[in-house]
Amino acid sequence: MTGNILELITEQYHSLTRSSRKLADYILAHTHDSQYLSITSLAENSGVSEASITRFCRSLGLSGYNNLKLALAKASYVTDIGDPSDSPDMITSGDTPGSIFHKLYNANVLSLNETMELLDEAELCRAVDLLSAADRVFCLGQGGSMVMAMEAWARFSVASSRFVHVMDSHMQVMNLSLATEKDVILFFSYSGSTKDMEDIMRIAAERHISVILITHFPNSRAAAHANVVLRCGYNESPLQSGSVAAKMGQLFIIECMFYLFCKRNPELYAKARSATAEAIIPKLL
């Protein structure tokens, strides 16, 4: 597909099916908002099925929904360095270093504030219940979310050896194929909609493994299979994939879970944290 996606939708509008025209009407009226929505949220907002969205994408020569989101992001105005120009803290090559620092600071503060507003204390406590009772906790994710899974593993490893991080997607499913009902998956996925994620969720369901999901989208496919869903803030454009601001909210959730986890058995985990700290001392200069 070449050219502007909005122009293409307009050109093909009268040849679209009724449901596709309904979807096109929504996208043309909400172009900016649509690029931030999961396929489930777009289906609910536009009043069509997820299957209709997939067919709509293919009729436009796109391989899938994520390609549509990227095309919508490109169709919107962007700055000369590729950031969305309708962002309240858009950054351009004309910004001074100081203004860039302040804009990034504001974006990170916004992420923390939104995550705090979305934080569900009951759900967070349910997540910690699962972590505390688990034999092993598999900290998993793919792409940028894999980095967050590693952050969680590193954070909890100072207090307990039950946390496991597996990087390779093949090794992830191999490890889970031997997991039991006493294990737990701590899964990071900002979108909640990836192919590798579906493989993980399928195995978890087959082996009755509880899943804690950290995501931005509460109605994503992953959320439908998770036992606990914890939401992080910040709307990340497809052109901003991997932004620190999107990760900031997830880091905050990790830290909240960590301290609630240690609170369950303070003497035990204080001793463990002391032991791991002492083990690192010889490695410091």
29's tokens? 């009226």
Extents of the domains making up the chain: 5-75, 119-283
93's tokens? 């090559």
* Tokens 């908002």, located at residue: 33
**Which CATH class, in words, describes the domain spanning 119-283?**
alpha beta
Average pLDDT score over the chain = 89
- State which CATH number among 3.40.50.300, 1.50.10.10, 3.40.250.10, 1.10.10.10 fits the domain covering 5-75: 1.10.10.10
Residue 238's identity, in one-letter code, is P
Average pLDDT over residues 173-184: 96
C-alpha span between 115 and 137 (Å, rounded):
23
Give per-residue pLDDT as tens, 258-277.
Answer: 999 999 999 999 999 999 99
pTM: 0.78
- At residue 2, does pLDDT exceed 50? no
Give per-residue pLDDT as tens, 39-70.
Answer: 888 999 999 999 999 999 998 888 888 888 88
Strands 137-141 and 228-231, sheet pairing: unpaired
User: Which is more confidently placed, 93 or 137?
Assistant: 137
The answer for residues whose C-beta is within 8 angstroms of residue 259's C-beta and 6 or more apart is none
